[in-house]
Structure 1
Amino acid sequence: MLLAADVGNTNVVFALFDGREIKARWRIATDPRRTGDEYAVSLLRLIELEGYTREDITQIIIGSVVPRAIHNLTVLAEKYFNVTPLISGTGDAEWGFELDIEQPSSLGADRALNTLAAHEKYEGDLIVVDFGTATTFDAVDFTGAYKGGIIAPGINLSLDALVGNTAKLPRIAIEKPKSASVIGRNTEDQMLIGVFWGYVSLIEGLIRRMKEEIGRPAKVVATGGLAILFDEHTDLFDAVDSDLTLEGLAILAERAA
């Protein structure tokens, strides 16, 4: 079985694959100082709770936007699973598609993995929107080449900045406003309208501009934790694919096997 580690700025998502099928997944807060031994304490127990053993894992792949975490996860793989891990984008796990941008080495592993999986699963030109710590918009052409994109503050970052830099605004949960009105009658409603519908307007505007620049029909594929929330209340997306990044890791590992 394959153990995939998707290391984001906020969380590390581990997924256990049997072929392309995810059998189990776990989320651990990202901390670059966390050692391989510390990862093992949590992960080995979680694997056991799902009815698997460390011997079931024969391949490990890591995709990380936090470079400092790679060493400790490599220690985890080698010490506790006796496996030399694949590192996405390097060696046997090279991307295998064109990075048609000015600084290819600067592209985050998550965005490259989304590109790889989206092109394999969906036809034609694509715009991939990933709701993570940052919200990213990536253009993938019909050949599978990565053409560039946009980085915007994630909605939680925007809310943190709003609350953290004001004296009286309260912390609120991100959800669709209960009223259809965009004129709030109290502070909490006004904040929620600004955060939710303001973010929808940002997404709509950027997708529209990207489609105009691409100049051909492009499907919009959304991934990340908040994709479902926005999909429920808008018609922005042609597909919502919550496991896109993990599937990109499985595809790379399959090619390297």
Structure 2
Amino acid sequence: MNLAIDQGNSSTKLGFFDKGKLIATYKLFFLDQQKLNELSKRHPPDKIIVSSVTQETKIIEQFFSTAKNQFIIFDHNTPLPFINQYQTPETLGKDRLAAIAGAQTHYPGSTLLVIDAGTAITFDLVVGNTFKGGNISPGLQMRFTALHTQTKQLPKVEPGQSEFWGTTTEEAIRSGVQNGIIMEVDSYIDKTREQYPDVKTIITGGDADFFVTYAKNIIFVHPNLVLHGLNRILEYNA
């Protein structure tokens, strides 16, 4: 049994894998040793990997410190199951690396455009077993928030259905933000296909369903891509 832990800014996701199969996932907004004890008794792990954007892993480390488990804190020094051509690996988000590894788990040897639609939107290109590089763009909520906080008059708008041309300021913001992102995603896919016609597009993250609903290109949705990637990295290091 493997345990992959993805610790974000507002929540922690845990994925338990049995012989490579994801058998249980949990999303926690507060993580303590009592909860770790409860879940570990339910699914006793032999190997654990932790990826954290907050670097606040003491509770997890303390809990597993006395156990006879293989325990990995995922960082830029952790060996990866693919070639990384990023020039500044110490600045590269671990969630991006894990999403790449997860995409390769589902589509080994393929050319992949991996999109993570969260607070920011990341676009990463994988050719065969090589990560070529990627881009970072503001996410859906970040764009709505920026228009409100960086101006004096524009209201805070939430995502929703919209016509292409807004006839009120609220509609104009909603349509402008949402259609702007949809066109951006479609353009990335089209541009990548010019060079790599057989590319597969995989999307994960909190806003993944939004893009799949409105984008014109075919996109494969994998909500637990990062957990699958962490498990693959764990197995690679085991």
The TM-score bracket by the shorter chain reads 0.7 to 0.9
Task: For residues 140-190 of structure 1, give each alpha carbon's deviation from its aligned partner in whole angstroms, at most 9, with x where no partner exists.
Answer: 002x1110000111111111212223344443332342xxx3221223222
The whole-number CA distance in structure 1 between the counterparts of 2:177 and 2:169 is 12
Q: Which amino acid aligns with 1:133?
A: T
CA drift at 1:209: 3.1
Give the 5 Å matches for 1:23-102.
23-29=23-29, 39-44=32-37, 47=39, 53=41, 56-66=44-54, 68-78=55-65, 83=69, 85-88=71-74, 94-102=79-87
Residue in structure 2 matched with residue 191 of structure 1 by the alignment: 173
TM-score w.r.t. length of structure 1:
0.80
Residues in 2 aligned to 1:234 and 1:172: alpha-carbon distance in whole angstroms? 21
User: Hey, what does 1:6 align to over in structure 2?
Assistant: 6
Q: Give, in angstroms, the shift of residue 210 of structure 1.
A: 3.5
The offset of 1:251, in angstroms, is 1.6
The one of 130, 141, 159 equivalent to 1:156 is 141
Find the aligned partners of 2:175 and 2:25 in 1 and give their Cα distance.
Answer: 33
Pairing 1:222–2:192 present: no
> How many aligned residue pairs are there?
237
- After superposition, the CA RMSD in angstroms is 2.6
Whether 1:137 and 2:131 are equivalent positions in the alignment is no
Q: Distance in 2 between matches of 1:108 and 1:242?
A: 18
Contact 1:127–1:219, Cα closer than 8 Å, also in 2: yes
Q: Quick one: which amino acid aligns to residue 129 of structure 1?
A: I
Shift in Å at residue 234 of structure 1? 2.0
Match of 2:91 among 102, 106, 109: 106
1:43 CA drift (Å): 4.1
1:242/1:55 CA distance change after superposition, 3 Å: closer
Letter in 1 for 2:83: E
Shift of 1:255: 3.2
Partner Cα separation in structure 2 for residue 132 and residue 3 of structure 1? 23
Correspondence for 2:21: 21
Query: CA contact under 8 A between 1:125 and 1:216: conserved in structure 2?
Result: no
Percent identity (aligned): 28
Q: Structure 1 or 2: larger helix share?
A: 1
SS in 2 for 1:53: helix
CA 1:163 to 1:73, structure 2 compared with 1: closer, same or farther past 3 Å? farther
CA distance in 2, matches of 1:229, 1:221: 14
**Equivalent residues of 1:88, 1:95 under 8 A apart:** no
2:234 aligns with 253
Note closer, same or farther for the CA distance 1:203–1:9 as it changes in structure 2 (3 Å cut).
farther
Alpha-carbon distance in structure 2 between the residues aligned to 1:247 and 1:85: 17
The answer to whether the 8 A contact 2:6-2:14 is kept is yes
**Contact kept in structure 1, 2:7 and 2:13, CA below 8 Å:** yes
Name the CA distance, whole Å, in 1 between partners of 2:76 and 2:133: 20
1:69 aligned counterpart, secondary structure: coil
Q: Shift in Å at residue 39 of structure 1?
A: 2.4
Give the aligned residue type for 2:85. Answer: D
Task: Give the SS at the match of 2:101.
Answer: helix
